Amino acid sequence: MTRSRAPSSRILGSGSALPKRIVTNAEMATMVDTSDEWIVERTGIRQRYIAGEDETTSTLAIQAALAALDDAGLTPDDIDLIVLATATPDNTFPATATKVQNALGCNGGIAFDVAAVCSGFLYALTTADSLLTTGMAKRALVIGAETFSRILDWEDRTTCVLFGDGAGAIVLESPATSTSVEKDGQKDARGILASRLHADGAQHDLLYVDGGPSTTQTVGHLRMRGPEVFKHAVVNLSNVLKEVIEEAGVSADQIDWIVPHQANKRILDATARKLKIAPERVVVTVDRHANTSAASVPLAFDTARKDGRIKKGDLVLMEAMGGGFTWGASLIRI
């Protein structure tokens, strides 16, 4: 899927939510045969958040959505579209987005889930942007929320140390209200400048969950062939970033920040090297949050906005790759 056009939907605010419980690498070492040194060296992860019994994908998504609305200075009544990216919904159906909608009290608009695993937020963002651009809605909540701890094999040390739970959200407004911002003496339109999405179902067996309603009638566990996923990730992500940069007509040195999927610090470093982008321009939160799948990009984005790194007028490149394989990127003027 390819789009290259004038700026469209713009981000009005962001928010995030994390479970109460933090699990350090030291605690992981008491559960499986691993160590803090081993995990940090291979992944960059130092801790992760794990949902408690009273925390679900929907409760985290609701918290993130409320935080994003507060940041945007809006109320639930201002929202007529909710797109929620998740691979760990509360139920097989209905969509977890409808539970968020009901909790917010903005029933009657559009609400649905998107399943593209770690790329889910980019798929949800692009889908919401398309609906806003066609006039189907005016303002959207785009959410990535996961409780991956519920589908992990806690005896598999190669996977259970990698993932965590959390949620991130943004408020997106239709291009009918687009504005511009002055940066470096020039007026630049704010909004999504270009997006690119891909999928390759031939790589299904490299990263998947071994169960489901139609096959085993059960919820399975995450399975991953890490070295092969790593190789595909570096190539696919660097390629899609180049595609989006080219479509938008900018150069890599004009990018203020890359907000990547937080899968593995080594993948982030390798992708930056391929694009010849300085590591300090890459937002990294994998050390604190681990891999939160569809939540990782909005979580990282909100973290960098709240700590003052990402500012109004910045050119931000978001990217992700996940099971399927799916991958994508979006270039946004904040």
Q: Which residues form the catalytic set?
A: 118, 261, 291
Contact 324, 203 (CB under 8 A): yes
Using an 8 Å Cβ cutoff, are 52 and 42 in contact?
Answer: no
Structure tokens at 27: 């605690």
- DSSP-derived secondary structure for 267-298: HHHHHHHHHT--GGGB---HHHH-B-GGGHHH
Of 162, 142, 166, which Cα lies nearest the Cα of 34? 162
**Measured between alpha carbons, how far is 190 from 331 in angstroms, rounded to an integer?**
11
Cα separation, 234 vs 270, in Å, equals 6
Cβ-contact 95, 113 below 8 angstroms: yes
Cβ proximity of 190 and 182 under 8 Å: no
Of 52, 56, 51, 48, nearest to 27 (Cα)? 48
246 contacts: CB under 8 Å, gap ≥ 6? none
Residues 330, 271: contact at Cβ < 8 Å?
A: no
Q: What phi and psi values does residue 320 have, to the nearest 5 degrees?
A: -165, 155
Distance CA 328, CA 66 (A): 26
> Residues 6 or more apart from 307 whose CB is under 8 A from it?
none
